[in-house]
Each structure stands twice: as C-alpha cells, then as structure tokens.
A and B are shown apart, each in its own frame.
Chain A
C-alpha cells in the first residue's frame, strides 16, 4: 500500500530528528515555489537560484519556529520578498532617500514584478495558490497524481506515450483523466482554494 504524502508538520518533525530524507522531501516540495516567486518578483535565473539557496538556509535554521506556523508557504513568501528586496537594494545606484520614498513604498517599488501591474503581495498570493494546487496534486493517489502531472505538463507527450509510461490501456486515459480532475477539484475545494 503506497504511503500517504506526509504533512509539512510531519516532515519538519522528521527533519528536526535528523532525518535527511525528510529534508530532501521538504526542499522538493517547496523548491519551485521559492524559485518561481523570486522570478515573479523580477529576479534573473541566477538571482532566483541565489534567493532559493538563501531561503533554504533560513528554512533549515528556523525549522523549529516554522513548525508552529500555519502556512509554511506564507512564511517562505515573506522570506523571499525580503531577500529579493535586499538584492535589489544592494544593486540600486540611487539611494532610497533620493527617490523620496518611504521604506515600505520603496520595498514595493524596488521589488518589481515580471507581470504587469502585479504587486509583490499579489505575486506572493499567486505563488501560494500554485503551491496549494501542487500540494493537492501531490496528495492524490497513484495513478491520478502521475497521470495529471504528465498530461498537463507543458512538455506532455500525449495520451499514447503517457499510457505507455504509466502502464495503462490507451482507452482508459480519457475517462481516468476526468475522474482524477474531479478528485483534484474536490481536494482543492476542501482546502479552500
């Protein structure tokens, strides 16, 4: 019987007990969230990598405190925004005082966004919603999790290849996709998505 996906709290407990595999799983769970939020906030690929590494270090150093947080994603979002802000500020050639901005305004203006008219708060919320969706997907049982991940990935090879990869009859892919989407929808509704 496949093991159910451990909760964030269980993973953190395991990390604090010295289980390095739990740490690997925690990083895997949030690596795209951290990196993509930095990207959304205007960082280059290299800078997003740096932000991810700093955030990973901070997460490891503060596992005990993060354990008590309601949402790890929200905690990480604050961390990423602060780090991106520091990055931009270090590279800004114009002192903030010369911009005539208050500190909080400066944080908003210096931390831009790749998406037009999106504030850092909106970028963080969008990333958190995507993480909720990935969490719900991760909680689906096999083969739903693998099926939806392969079919809706941007590089999806199509029904025939996915059926072959998963060892499923080609004709079952369509009906199974529908059932799996229904299950995913229910999980998302239950989680308040």
Chain B
C-alpha cells in the first residue's frame, strides 16, 4: 500500500516542529515504513549539512574588497606584483646522446635542469604512448636543496592552449603531452619561474 504520509510532515518531524501527538504518530509510522524512515534519515543528514554550509565563516569586508579590486589593480601595474624569473638551462641529457642525438632519434627519457635565481627546476620527460610524453618536475630551493612548495604549473603550447599539472607530494606531472615547443610556468609563493622554450620529444 502506498504511503500517504506527506513529505512536509516528515520535514516538520525531523525539525521537531510537530506537536507531541503528531510527532508520536510519525514516530510510530517510521517503525513500519522503510521509505519514510529513509527519507527522515536523509533529512537528518541534509539539514545539519545545510545549516553547517550556511554557517561557514567568511572573510572580512576589507579582504573581500581587496580580492574584488585585483583585476583593476593588477591592470594598472606595468609589471606583475610577483617577481617573474626566466629560467636558464644548466643541463640537458639530450646533449650527451652523441651519435643518437645527431641522427635526430628521440630518446625515451630526457632530464633537464634549470636555474632561476634561488631555485632549481628539475624536469623529466618520459615517453608514454605513441608520440606523447609524460612530464614530471620538481622545484628545489637552491640553498639546502629542499623541495619548494609549488602552487601551480602551467604548460602552454605554441597554439596557446594550456594544460595545468597535477601534484603528487612535491612533484608535478603532466600527461599526454605531444611533441613540440612549449612555455612552462611554475608558480611559487614569491616567484613565477618561466621556461620560455621547452622542447618536448624529438628535435626538428
């Protein structure tokens, strides 16, 4: 037999808004109606979650104004507020390949080491499938060699399309990268490191 208990009654029951007699009737009913019992249980999770979400604290008005003004403020500045460092290539494992490199054969794995001010940037390229590559990297603080906390990594191709890296511990990863020339941007809290020309895969 279809249950005729109005959903509104279940909502009121879950919210303790029913008179005692009505609440007792609903409670008794829940003991024998699995559907209604499930709906009340669902409400018992949803309503506290909803209250909690609506009670989430928020930033001060001053902080919100700062955030809202960012596009206007940054457009007025001729240079970015975070220092941009262009990375210099220190080592490329492809230059050690000798005869293989001269024939233009693409190696299966490539290691690159860049320096940028107080940071070192390791980038590994590994052939994954077909003409695609996996790019793995990490940024290190030059003094001490500790991994640097990276906020974001963006790889942009010559067509202007960007791919954002995923992170595992201190390493960033990009999958399915095709042969070609890219720009790599690594964002750290106090600097943006840019590798303006990163050749993935075989040379032309």
Contacts and interface: CB of A to CB of B under 8 A. Distances in A.
Interface of A: 15, 18, 20, 23-24, 27, 31-36, 39, 45, 48-50, 52-54, 56-58, 60-62, 64-66, 68-69, 75, 78-79, 82-83, 85-86, 103-104, 127, 129-131, 133-134, 137, 148-149, 152-154, 174-175, 177-178, 181-182, 184-185, 188
B58 A60 contact: no
Contact of A60 (B12, B51, B74, B151): B74
Given A130-B56, A148-B50, A49 B70 contact: no
B59 A65 contact: no
B135 to A, nearest CB: 14
B189 A86 contact: yes
Given A39-B57, A178-B11, A152 B47 contact: yes
A134 B12 CA distance: 22
Contacts of B60: 45, 49
11 contacts: A27-B68, A34-B59, A57-B70, A65-B164, A83-B189, A127-B56, A133-B50, A153-B55, A154-B54, A177-B8, A177-B11
A59 to B, nearest CB: 9
Interface residues of B, number: 51
A178 B7 contact: yes
B154 interface: yes
B72 A20 contact: yes
Interface of B: 6-8, 10-12, 42-43, 46-47, 49-60, 62-64, 66-68, 70-72, 74, 80-82, 146-147, 149, 151-154, 162-164, 167, 169-170, 187, 189, 192
Given A23-B71, A56-B70, A31 B58 contact: yes
Given A64-B162, A181-B46, A103 B170 contact: yes
Given A49-B63, A58-B151, A78 B162 contact: no
B54 A149 contact: yes
